[in-house]
Amino acid sequence: MIDITVCIGSTCHVKGSKQVLEQLKNLISLNRLAGKVNLHGTFCLGNCQQGVSVTIDGEVYSVHPDTVNEFFTKEVLSKVRK
């Protein structure tokens, strides 16, 4: 099980954290990963400049609504399939 958190702090919210969260939720369901990925929101991760901040097992990544697909394929699928 991998743990993904999306920052829903105010700066990341303005940068589209809600869309990022929704898109990740859809991608997890499309790829039938509900039992393998735990997705939830979190407060400010101290990475506001680079937001939207997303963590995978504690490691911080910067994701934008336009780069969610790429992030999911590159970072999430690769870890789930290990």
Q: Which residues bind ligand FES (CB under 6 A)?
A: 7, 9-12, 44-48, 51, 53
28-32 CB contacts, 8 Å cutoff, 24+ apart: 31/77
Closest CB to ligand FES among residues 21, 45: 45
DSSP alpha helix (H) spans, the chain: 10-14, 17-30, 68-71, 78-80
Least distance (Å) from ligand FES to the CB of residue 47? Answer: 4
DSSP 8-class letter at 58: T
Which CB atom, from 10 or from 78, has the smaller least distance to ligand FES? 10
Q: Which residue, judged by CB position, is nearest to ligand FES in the bound state?
A: 9
